[in-house]
Structure 1
Amino acid sequence: MLQDLLDHGPVSRNEIQNKIDQYGCYIVLVEADDYLPGYAYTIGLHQKFGHPEIICFGLSIDMLGRLLNNACALIANSASLYPDQLYQDFLEDYPIQFLPVETSYYSNYMAICSNFYSTDDYPSLQMVWPDKKSLFPWEQGFNPAWKFKQPLLDRNTDFKFYEERNVAVFTTKHVLEGKPILYVYHNDDGAWQFHSEREPDLTDAKLVCLEEITRIDPSVNEVYHLSFGQSAWRESVNDPWEWE
């Protein structure tokens, strides 16, 4: 049932439908890179069983595939999975929980699913795993080194970056005075830059927190995924972002 789109390229709607008909769902696997965690999600649970689709982050591709396969098998046998309940049968010695996914995240993480359904009008759940103390990311004492291994898709729709809100980023006084952000750089060292010019005058440089940039222009959340060394640009604020 598993299909890794990164290895095999895009698949047709008919290929996805054939897997749903045969196995109950199709699973999209997305490899991690040097910045973003890997993740996987289902397509077809809603169509075949009337059940929310499921997405999970931050584990190995093999483990993600096994977890979603197990979920699909349970659902095919008339089980239903619900938010805010502990489930003990997915990970050995550790519980998991499910969160409802905000639809504004679909374009970021589940675009193939939305294309398959030709709409964002379908429900989804995020499978969330705990740290080695069985603490979940929203609980006090959760391992801070694992904080950004699984973004929580039921919240923070105003801030989608994989950093703390108060992390320092570079911009210029022109952006702070109202010029549009048209160029975004994610440096090799992890630093972010947000500018109105492709090559800004460094004498105009300012250091601000990343959250302030997202408040100035919420659309920068659309390029949260830029890996180290990548950049994004647009001709105007009315144009879509492009990136390498």
Structure 2
Amino acid sequence: MNEDHCDHDPIPQKEIQRNIDQYGCYIIQVKPDDYLPGFAYTIGLYQQFSHPEIICFGLSLNLLGSVLNDACELIKNGQPLQVGVYYDDFIADYPMQFLTVDKSFYPNYWGIANSFYGHYNYPALQLVWPDKQSLFPWEPGFNVNWKYKQPLLDRDTDFKFYEERNLAVYTTKYVLEGKPILYVYHNDDGAWQFHSEPEPDLKDAKLVSLESITRLDPGINELYHLSLGQSARRGSMEEEWGWE
């Protein structure tokens, strides 16, 4: 077994390396909240075995750790894991598959791995699990209640939000006329607001699709993990977002 870490606080490089040397990889675990699923990923598979790192979402933290440890053992025993193959080694009666992760998602999910390697030039796979009917998230009929537990990191690089592209969100006529989005709110009830003023007038409100907002400003994608009740603001398009 390797040690787990349950957030994205800095971890000493020596601690990570010590566990990689002893167990083959180090596992980072990130807890779920009311909006975002929990996930876990490996560090060290690429260094030790020239194998892609692995990430998995949406299961309990204990199960995520167990699944990734099992994957590490297979790799250590000379069984590299491949895309497009069904694996029944991880959860009984639930064959799982791997997807190739697009590097545009690395800044969003691999914070500690990126710091450890000092670059994004390592490969990664996503381990994806099916519903109780053995259907995967991209297949018709997949359990809609589980849809947002697994973002698929091999696709939709232009739209990183967990919701549907056609989700109705609030903005104002000023944003649609070209003013920059400087204030973003994710309400407790799940509604999104994108504004150019801190207190917009209701008479200026417009209802548009979430996808249309990301087309107006693709950088809004980086706020996909703004949890319920959180907001973000910036002074201009050139400034970094500040979170509240």
Which TM-score bucket, shorter chain as reference?
Answer: over 0.9
How far the C-alpha of 1:63 sits from its partner, in A, is 0.2
Return the alpha-carbon distance in structure 2 between the equivalents of residues 68 and 104 of structure 1.
22
Cα deviations by residue, 1:160-208 (Å, 9 ceiling, x for unpaired):
1111111110000000000000110000111000001111122111000
4+ aligned runs moved over 4 Å, structure 1: none
Return the alpha-carbon distance in structure 1 between the equivalents of residues 37 and 174 of structure 2.
34
Other structure's SS at 1:98 match: strand
CA contact (8 A) 2:230 2:243 kept: yes
The one-letter amino acid paired with 1:5 is C
How far the C-alpha of 1:4 sits from its partner, in A, is 2.2
The unaligned stretches of length 5 or more in structure 1 are none
Other structure's SS at 2:63 match: helix
Q: Return the TM-score normalized by structure 2.
A: 0.97
Aligned residues: 243
Q: Return the TM-score normalized by structure 1.
A: 0.97
1:104-183 equivalences in 2 (<5 Å):
104-183=104-183
Q: CA RMSD in A?
A: 1.0
Return the alpha-carbon distance in structure 2 between the equivalents of residues 242 and 2 of structure 1.
32
Return the alpha-carbon distance in structure 2 between the equivalents of residues 155 and 26 of structure 1.
26
How far the C-alpha of 1:239 sits from its partner, in A, is 1.4
Q: Does 1:95 align with 2:106?
A: no
Q: Does 1:30 align with 2:55?
A: no
The one-letter amino acid paired with 2:112 is I
Look up the match of 1:63. Answer: 63
How far the C-alpha of 1:109 sits from its partner, in A, is 0.6
The one-letter amino acid paired with 2:189 is D
Return the alpha-carbon distance in structure 2 between the equivalents of residues 88 and 23 of structure 1.
23
Cα deviations by residue, 1:38-96 (Å, 9 ceiling, x for unpaired):
00000000000000000000000000000000000111111100111101111101100
The one-letter amino acid paired with 1:185 is Y
Look up the match of 1:4. Answer: 5
Look up the match of 1:202. Answer: 202
The unaligned stretches of length 5 or more in structure 2 are none
Sequence identity percentage? 66
The one-letter amino acid paired with 1:147 is K
Return the alpha-carbon distance in structure 2 between the equivalents of residues 44 and 119 of structure 1.
14
Look up the match of 2:213. Answer: 213
Look up the match of 2:234. Answer: 234
Other structure's SS at 1:146 match: helix
The one-letter amino acid paired with 1:42 is T
- Against the structure 1 CA distance between its residues 241 and 100, is the aligned structure 2 distance closer, same or farther, given a 3 Å change threshold? same
